Each structure stands twice: as structure tokens, then as C-alpha cells.
Amino acid sequence: MQLMGQFTSTPQLQPVVCGQPPEVKFTQLEKGKKKYMDTAKYQLHEGYTLDGSPNGPKEFQITCQANGTFTPTSHPLPIKCGTPPLKDHARSESPEAVYGQPVVYACDTGYTTDGKRHGKRNFTLNCNLDGTFAGTGECKPISAGKLPAFPGAMQIKDGGGFELGNLDYGEEAEIACAPGFSLDGVVGAEEMFEVSVTAEGEFATTGECKNKDECATPDNQCSPNGTCVNEQHPTGNHSKDFHCECEPGFVESISGSVRTCSNIPDCPAEACSPGTCQDLVQDYRCECPQGYREGSNPAKGLAHDCLPVSCGSPPEVPHATTANQSMEWFYHMEAVGYKCADGYTVNALPDGDQSFQIRCLSNTTFELAQMCNKVTCGTAPVVENTILKPKSELLSRYRKLHMQDGLHGHW
């Protein structure tokens, strides 16, 4: 009011200006200055709400106040999907997932996303706007492929009568040794082993079936005259799964499950009589008694036989003859017969023996022969009216008469 009794003109009032609303992350705001009582509306980005729930508020606003400041802003929260789901044979280190944050799963050892040994070992799930997880990743056991055939072994079928075709990590196949085989080839050892798959996709076994070393058993008695040989295609019958390869002159003998190399009998049925035959390796020899020697006998086809020793031809005996003078005489033959010449006897008596015998001895000599002695008539009788001539004169006369007239007789 002025002194003149009039009011002055009123001033034009202006609302308080707050200026540009503050920017809030994860929101969209229409630009422009705000003045007192004006509001600024914020629209939250997709995947965000004010409380983090899928259906939570997706906008908020602030007001310019009389003091030139805005009311407090809200804080957008990403939509929560919660704890990531559990996946077989995989693990995640994310305790809770929110929109925009991928959940990475790492496959356990021995697993990949496609079951191949060089396949990927991780996969990702994403948190959806509706609070669920999106993605179909999984971890599969690494496969080593088709189970191979194992020499001397076969796979044991399961309770349903099936065999495993492919073998994956975490699986095991039971393998049984075929008849005649065992682990490490030891007789009496285990005859089963397992096959599994390593984390790298390789087959791993706990043993190996080998042909049993039947020759390592006490039933092998092939030595020292032969060598034991294991059969390359065993039957599972111990006594038939090895044999002896015997040296020349020996043959395999079987007694129960024991196999030996026995000397082949080489003694012919008629050899060495009247001695004994001693069997050798691929030969024989004769043990001959006295009077016999060992030698070949072509007449009987014998390489060795007991032959009687020879004493040669019978010896000449004075005043005696034998019909076998030119024959060779042997130990086993009968005695050689001799006959004394006329006028001779063994004991020189007129009625004495005129024949005798000698034998071939075992030392290749003949017995000592008896002698043929001239027959003696004793002392001549005394005859009356005669004169006894000297012996020499009478003998000369006898010889003369014997030669002329063929006289025979004894004095």
C-alpha cells in the first residue's frame, strides 16, 4: 500500500522448479523439466519389476515438491527365477538366478552334453520373464562305443538274458573266461573280470583271460625225455589241454591226467635168448650168459642176439679120428666124438674104450682130449721047447705078416 491510499500491483507468482527428474537404471523416462506438483513417470525395462516378482509393478512415479526436490525414486529389481533346478550329473555354482543372468552347468567327470568323449562339458539355462527357466541342456555319460570281443572270454548276460552292446561311463560289464582260460593263465586263478569306461571314454579292464598253463601243473611229467605243450585251442578239460612232445625213441604215456614220455620198447620177442634183453633208447643190447657173445643174427633178422662162442674146428688127436674134423664147433653144440684107431684104446687095455668125446667150452677152447694108447698084451707066455725072441724081432715079424696077409688080432 502506498501513501496515496492505493495498493501497489501484485507480483506474478511462478511455481517452484525441480528441474530434470533423476535417471534410474533399468527404467525409461520422458525427458523434461518438472515444476512444483508435476510428476515424472518411470517405465521399468523388460525383465524388471519393483519387487522382483514376474507380476510385480512395472512402473512408478515421483513428484516435484515445494522445496524444489523430487520425492524418492524406486529401485527396479530383476525378475527372480529362484534356485536353479538340479540336473543329473551336472552342477551349478549359481545359488539363485535372475532375469538376464545365465545359469551355467558343468558336467561331472565322465559326462558331456552329447555323450561323446570330445563333446561339450557345460550347458546354460536362462531365467524367463515369467520366472521360469528356459533351456534343455543335460549331461550324458561318455560312451566308449561297442564293447569289443576279448580273446578267450565272453560277456555274462544279465538277469534278463541280455548283453551290453555299447558301454558308457558308469556302467560295468562282467566278462567270464572261456573254458581252458583264466586270469593271467594261471591254473586255479580267477576266471572273471570287469570292463568299465574311463572318464576319457576308454575301456578299462580288471584282468585278461589267457590260455591256462596246464604244463605248470604236477601232471606234466614230460621231462626229461620230452617237452610239454599247451593246446592252442583248449577245451577246459585239463587232461586234454596239454600233451607231451617226446624225443625220438620215446612215446607219450597217459595215466589219468598225468602225461609222461616213456621209452619205446625195442627188444624183439626172440632176441637175446638164452640171455636177457636190455632196452635202450631206439636200440637194445643183450646180456648174454657164459658161452655166448652179443652179435648180429641176420638169419633171424636181429641186430643183436646172444650167439654161442666158437671153439673152431675140433683138434687132431693122435691115433684117433672124428667125422666132424672140418666143422666149426660152437659152445651150444653136442660133444665131438672121437674113435681110436685099431690097436689103440683109451686105457691101452685090449677091451678098453676106443671112443671118447670132448666139448667146446665157454672160454672158446675144447676140453682136454683123452689119448688113444697102444694096446698092451702083457708078458708073453712060456712055451715048452721054444725060445722067446726079443720084442723088437717079434714086432717086426708081426708087421710083416700084417702087411702081407692082412692079419688082424691082438697078442
CATH class of 17-78: mainly beta
* Per-residue confidence band for 391, with pLDDT thresholds at 50, 70 and 90: low
CATH class of 214-263: mainly beta
Give the CATH H-level superfamily of domain 80-141.
Answer: Complement Module, domain 1 (2.10.70.10)
> What percent of the chain is predicted at pLDDT more than 90?
79
Residue 404 has pLDDT above 90, yes or no: no
Residue 411 has pLDDT above 60, yes or no: no
For residues 1 and 7, the answer to whether their CB atoms sit within 8 Å is: yes
Residue 403 has pLDDT above 60, yes or no: no
Question: What local confidence, expressed as pLDDT, does residue 4 receive?
Answer: 66
Question: What local confidence, expressed as pLDDT, does residue 78 receive?
Answer: 96
Residue 1 has pLDDT above 70, yes or no: no
Question: What local confidence, expressed as pLDDT, does residue 248 receive?
Answer: 94
Give yes or no on whether 17-78 and 143-211 have one common fold: yes
Residue 393 has pLDDT above 70, yes or no: no
pTM of the model: 0.57
pLDDT tens digits, 317-370: 999 999 888 899 999 899 999 999 999 999 999 999 999 999 999 999 999 999
pLDDT tens digits, 7-51: 667 778 889 999 999 999 999 998 899 999 999 999 999 999 999
Question: What local confidence, expressed as pLDDT, does residue 52 receive?
Answer: 95
| Domain segments of the chain as ranges | 17-78, 80-141, 143-211, 214-263, 276-308, 310-376
Residue 402 has pLDDT above 70, yes or no: no
Tell me phi and psi for residue 394, to 5 degrees.
-65, -40
* Per-residue confidence band for 390, with pLDDT thresholds at 50, 70 and 90: low
Residue owning grid cell 557345460: 122
Question: What local confidence, expressed as pLDDT, does residue 410 receive?
Answer: 40
Residue 2 has pLDDT above 70, yes or no: no
Provide mean pLDDT across the span 235-263. 94
Half-sphere CA count of 10, side-chain side, radius 13 A: 3
Of 208-212, 216-220, 375-379, the poorest mean pLDDT is in: 375-379
The fold of the 310-376 domain, in CATH, is: Complement Module; domain 1 (2.10.70)
Name the nearest CA neighbour of 285 among 295, 293, 277. Answer: 277
Provide mean pLDDT across the span 79-94. 93
Provide mean pLDDT across the span 287-296. 94
The fold of the 143-211 domain, in CATH, is: Complement Module; domain 1 (2.10.70)
